[in-house]
């Protein structure tokens, strides 16, 4: 029986499910990315996806979710700032219009 693979991050032995998942990811990587395989400076073994145990895989997914949430929060903040800026411009233009109207009535 072949020796089980180790997690590339923590060194834990992969269980059969994680081993299978890692091999499927490697196979998909090797069959689906012609441009990377053809790049002369990279050999497939140097760019294979990391083999991950379940804990490290979950940790990475959690980090991705947190980064996506941060991106969404940043986009919402940017939209809010644009709305505040537009409201400020409209307020200033309205104020100038009222002042001009009052000055023209005198
Ligand atoms: Zn691990």
From ligand 1's centre to the CA of 13, what distance in Å? 8
> How many beta carbons lie within 10 A of that of residue 6, not counting itself?
13
Task: Give distance in angstroms: CA of 28 to centre of ligand 1.
Answer: 21
Enumerate the domain spans of the chain: 16-105
Instruction: Report the separation in Å between the CA atom of 25 and the middle of ligand 1, taken as the mean of its atom positions.
Output: 16
Question: What confidence tens digit (pLDDT) does each residue in 54-92 have?
Answer: 999 999 999 999 999 999 999 999 999 999 999 999 999
Q: What is the pLDDT of residue 49?
A: 85
**Chain centre to alpha carbon of residue 73:** 13
What pLDDT is recorded for position 89? 97
CB-based neighbours (< 5 A) of ligand 1, an ion: 7, 9-10, 12, 53, 56
Distance (Å) from CA 100 to ligand 1 centroid:
70
The per-residue pLDDT for range 5-43, each reduced to its tens digit, is 899 999 999 999 999 999 998 888 888 766 555 555 555
């Amino acid at each position: 029986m072949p020796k089980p693979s180790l997690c590339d991050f923590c060194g834990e032995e992969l269980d059969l499910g994680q081993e299978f998942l890692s091999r499927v990811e490697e196979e998909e990587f090797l069959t689906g990315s012609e441009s990377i395989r053809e790049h002369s400076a990279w050999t497939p073994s140097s760019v294979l996806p990391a083999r991950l145990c379940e804990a490290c895989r979950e940790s990475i997914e959690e980090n991705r979710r947190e980064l996506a949430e941060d991106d969404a929060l940043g986009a919402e903040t940017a939209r809010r700032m644009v709305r505040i800026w537009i409201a400020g411009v409209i307020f200033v233009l309205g104020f100038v219009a009222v002042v001009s109207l009052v000055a023209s009535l005198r």
